[in-house]
A = this chain, B = another copy of it.
């Protein structure tokens, strides 16, 4: 739960998730969407990976990132407990 909310607690990382929800992207393609250095984006991707919100596989020189949808279940559950009815 900790790594999850930590990962989500940043607008850049949430935006990365939204991009990846549309389609898989390489680290470089992701970086191109932001006005931020590649190392910074790499760091954000690392935090998302630690939270298991994304996974990456190497494709030649590129690293392809994709969403790991299954992880959201647990958190949605946790949040639902607070909903009325």
- On A, residues with C-beta under 8 Å from B are 1-2, 5-6, 8-9, 11, 14, 17-18, 21, 67, 69-70, 72-73, 75-76, 79-84
Q: Measured between alpha carbons, how far is A71 from B2 in the docked complex, in Å?
A: 20
**Would you call the interface of chain A mostly helix, strand, loop, or mixed?**
helix
Residues of B within 8 A of A83 (CB): 69, 72-73, 76
Closest to A17 in B: B82
30 sampled A-B residue pairs with Cβ under 8 A:
A1-B11, A1-B14, A2-B11, A5-B5, A5-B8, A5-B9, A6-B9, A8-B8, A8-B9, A9-B9, A17-B82, A18-B81, A21-B81, A21-B82, A67-B82, A69-B82, A69-B83, A69-B84, A70-B84, A72-B79, A72-B80, A72-B82, A72-B83, A73-B83, A75-B79, A76-B76, A76-B79, A76-B80, A76-B83, A79-B79
